[in-house]
Amino acid sequence: MLGDIYVSMKGKEGEQELGGGVEAVPRLGKTGEFIFSQAHGKYYEAASRGRLFYSHSVARAMSAPSTSAIGNIVWNPPGSGVNLSFCLASFIIIVVDGDAVNVDVCYSVQATVPGSVTVATSGPCLLGPVGVSSGKAKAYSIATVTTAPTPILSLGEVGDAVLSVGTTLNTTDLDGMIVCPPGYLVSLHTVVAAGTAGMTSDLVWEEVPII
């Protein structure tokens, strides 16, 4: 029968300033506790390393899930070598629409380059020139896709004609729960096609190398 096994751990009290690749002991508080903290915003690491990206689609008449897609469409090309880990989705009404009902996160397989595209405003969250991106994913406001996307997550109600402009603002922290592999796309669509070009939306994702 094995006896008790003891593990000794050492730490150092106080702040540390470390360079890349430096080995160090864990940090301790003044009362001997180990310090585990989120030193910066939770997406700072990915953003500062150039792995976080955004797509901003302005004033679109969002379609219901369709091969003629209108909304916010992010495609991960086959062979990209990355998974897209989605961090945030948001939308706001800028023109009242009584048709659209609510907005869903959707996905579909997409093995070839989408056709008839209108590109969305996109780029790295490590800010630089707008529209210049070193990312693997492609972002569109309008695209012809192979398969009508499948809704997988409801983001919230769009509203109806009794609501005034701007009363529906929805931001959802996806926190990496939706992962899009190469050869697929993720998109935002309304349940019923919008009647007016009044929906602005955003998607934010991290490109994570496939190991």
CA distance linking residue 68 with residue 146, whole number of Å: 9
In tens, the pLDDT along 47-97 reads 988 899 999 999 888 899 999 999 999 999 999 999 999 999 999 887 766
Domain boundaries along the sequence of the chain = 52-209
Percent of the chain with pLDDT over 70: 86
Can you tell me the mean pLDDT for 159-163? 51
Task: Give Cα separations from 95 to 21, 77, 92, 159 (angstroms).
Answer: 51, 33, 9, 11
With a cut of 70, say whether residue 157 has pLDDT above it: yes
Of 117 and 45, the one with more pLDDT: 117
Looking at every residue in the chain, the average pLDDT score rounds to: 86
Q: Which residues contact 170 (CB under 8 A, 6 or more apart)?
A: 90, 91, 92, 103, 155, 156
With a cut of 80, say whether residue 37 has pLDDT above it: no
Name the pTM for this structure.
Answer: 0.81
Pairing outcome for strands 27-28 and 12-13:
parallel
